[in-house]
Amino acid sequence: MVRSSIMSRFQTVKWILLFCFVLSVHVSADPRKIVFLGDSLTAGYQLPVDQAYPVLIGKMLDRNRWETVNAGISGDTTAGGLSRLNWVLRAHPDIVVVALGVNDGLRGTSLWTIQNNLDKMVAKIQDSGASVVIAGMQLPTNYGPSYRKQFARIFAVVAQKYVVGYIPFLLEGVALKPEFNLSDGLHPNAKGHQIIAQTVYTGILPVIKRRELGQR
């Protein structure tokens, strides 16, 4: 009976040590990355870096498991995003949120060009093994109704084609509301970014959960 008791204690200690080892590996593992590939709306135009929505989303997540990277550049387009995508993918992101296209639309870029650039970006990101979330964009009402409607539809079409995450409108609840924008009426202020952060967080949460389950 003494030997049996000693063996029982040995087994208990062994399992405790194994549990501690597994736990230490989990805690020390590098957090997964979410990269936000965007323009001034993502960069946080004229705001402190910690007030842009990618940083705010980072604060909503478990920092031991996820980190966010703001790859927003003011004035960027889908062509610009495509040209720097290799640099973005060097960070080995688990999820890439593509929030580009509005500058293309404001410049009257052809719809085919915008969609083609988004197509190439999404395909390349998926080939890298990362998941994709597309943030939809809309144009001001002073643009022709036909162009505006077709422009807004592009993002849903690409998301459906590649079966990726989709946020219908990045500026939902923020656009055209002076209290949530800077004096230019185009770029969100700190309060606006808080709303965007909640919108995007809700949109990417299902993708985060799938990644944690080992799915894309």
Per-residue pLDDT tens for 87-128?
999 999 999 999 999 999 999 999 999 999 999 999 999 999
E-assigned strands of the chain?
A: 32-38, 66-72, 95-99, 131-135, 165-167
Residues 14 and 52 in one domain: no
Domain that holds residue 175: 31-212
Residues 4 and 36 in one domain: no
Residues 17 and 67 in one domain: no
pLDDT tens profile 7-64: 444 444 444 443 443 344 344 468 999 999 999 999 999 999 999 999 999 999 998 8
165: which 2 tokens?
A: 């995450």
Q: In what order do the strands lie in the sheet with 32-38?
A: 66-72, 32-38, 95-99, 131-135, 165-167
86: which 2 tokens?
A: 């290799």
pLDDT tens profile 203-214: 999 999 999 998
Residues 49 and 147 in one domain: yes
Residues 4 and 100 in one domain: no
Residues 20 and 65 in one domain: no
Number of structural domains, the chain? 2
Residues 22 and 79 in one domain: no
Q: Which of the residues are catalytic?
A: 40, 184, 187
Residues 90 and 152 in one domain: yes
- Give the domain CATH number at 134: 3.40.50.1110
Residues 80 and 172 in one domain: yes
All residues at 6 or more sequence positions from 106 whose CB lies less than 8 Å from its CB, including other chains: 139
